[in-house]
Structure formats: structure tokens, C-alpha cells
Amino acid sequence: MSDIRPLVAGNWKMNGLRAALDEARAVAVAVAAKQPAADVMICPPATLVASMVGAVGEAIAVGGQDCHANETGAHTGDISAEMLADAGAGAVIVGHSERRADHGELSRDVAAKAAAAHRAGLLAIICVGETAGERAAGLTLQVVERQLAGSLPEGVTAANTVIAYEPVWAIGTGLTPTTEDVGQVHTALRGAMVAKLDDGGGVRLLYGGSVKPGNAAELMGIDNVDGALVGGASLTAKDFLGIIDAFPS
Ligand code: PGA
């Protein structure tokens, strides 16, 4: 067992009106009671960040789902890392495959956003992952390593950065890679972080993509998997807590 404190982060994506704060409250109450052996975070849409911080108190952390690289400026519709921090967020996801695909974000953009997160004092959760076609072509490790190298800004440490491996074809599909395949990618990610950083052995490496209560314990038991980034199953307290249960106190 490593001494890394795992992280289970929920990514609500573009889901959640104010009524959904009840689910987050229920997670916070249960986490305070269960004291799981993992940190717990929810990344709601930006509209809910401030109210969620108020709703969940200290029990769980709150993060954003994206940020602009700049602190302020003429960028209609964008949100800076400083704004997320000001709203009470402690983290931000950057480089999610949906942003890379929907908004044409390149790894160098992701690195600039991660640097912005650090500038604002936020934990950067940097996402990487191959498409189905890239996996079929045997390019998984090459793609993931290239994305990782391109998405890491200067100044990365185990304290300010988390890496999430999310195979694009596993997101929202109910499909997951085999434990061997996840282990192979996470071993490669660990090797890359150890080669780059003095404290690379302590960087949390999350797996994401169709994590559910029924598969969480198996996925979370893989070497070098230090938690989960959870989409659909983070939307209800019941399912999210079922995943958090993979880390009993
Ligand atoms: P999913 O999404 O759990 O719904 O597959 C994961 C993610 O995109 O972070």
C-alpha cells in the first residue's frame, strides 16, 4: 500500500440546478460520518460552485470544470482560476476530453490552464486519455504520454496537481478497460511523473470512465490508481457514496 491519500472527484459536467445541492449535502453528511480513507470532491457547473461550497462545508472539496488561462480580460463567457478560487473552489479540472473535443483545446492550452490553476492556488486535475481508434491502433501509451508531457506546466508538484487517466471510449459508455490495461497506463504515468518530478511518486493518478459502485473496488485496487474521476455516477448521493465505499475508513 502506498501512503498516497486517494481522491474521489465527481464531475457533474453540464448537469445540476440548485435543487441538486441536496445530493451534495447528502454526500457531505455521509462523508463526515464515514470518514472514508480518501478525499472527496465535487466539481459542479460554475453556477453552483459558490452555493455548493456553502452547502457542503468542510466535509468535501469543491472544484471547477475548466478555467481560462488569463486572470481577467475580454473573454466573454470564460471564467478565470482566480474567480473559481474566489467562489471557494479548491481545484479545477483541465483538459477533459470533452473540452479537448468540443472546444478544440490542445495540450499546450491545457498546460496554460493548469498554470493558471496553480497561480490561483488551485489543485489542477489534468485529464488525458486515448480514443477508441487510438487504442485499436495500439497507440494508447504513446497518446497518453504525449498528452501528459504537453499538458504539464512548469512548477508541477504532487501537492498542486492530480492526473486523471480517462479513456475517451470509456466515458459515459458503461465500458471500462481491463484491470491490466488500466494498470499498464497508470504504471507508465507513474514512470513519467517520477522521471519529471522529485516527488512524482506522490502525484495522485485517478482513473475515470464509467466508474460505478459495482466496479469501483476492483478499479481502485489497481496499482498506481489513487482514486477516481466520476461523471454520471457522481450525480446522485447514493451512487457516489457507493464508489466512495471503495475506500473504507
Ligand atoms: P463517466 O464520466 O463516469 O460518466 O464515464 C467520467 C468523466 O468524464 O469524468
Q: Is the CB of 36 under 6 A from ligand 1?
A: no
Instruction: Please indicate, yes or no, whether the overall pTM of this predicted structure exceeds 0.85.
Output: yes
Q: What percent of the chain has pLDDT over 90?
A: 99
Model confidence at 1: pLDDT above 50: no
For residue 30, name the pLDDT band (cuts at 50, 70, 90).
very high
CB 35 within 8 A of CB 4: no
Q: Does residue 167 line the site of ligand 1, with CB under 6 A?
A: no
Is 166 a catalytic site residue? yes
Taking only the tens place, the pLDDT of each residue in 75-112 is 999 999 999 999 999 999 999 999 999 999 999 999 99
CA of 100 from ligand 1 middle (Å) equals 14
**Which is catalytic among the residues 23, 105, 166, 186?**
166
Q: DSSP letter at 68? A: B
The pLDDT assigned to 3 comes to 84
Instruction: Please tell me which residue in 23, 68, 82, 96 is annotated as part of the active site.
Output: 96
- The closest alpha carbon to 22, from 46, 37, 7, 44, belongs to 44
113-157 pLDDT per residue, tens: 999 999 999 999 999 999 999 999 999 999 999 999 999 999 999
**103 is known as an active-site residue:** no
Mean pLDDT of 30-38: 98
Residue 72, amino acid: T
Q: How confident is the model at residue 2 (pLDDT cuts 50, 70, 90)?
A: low
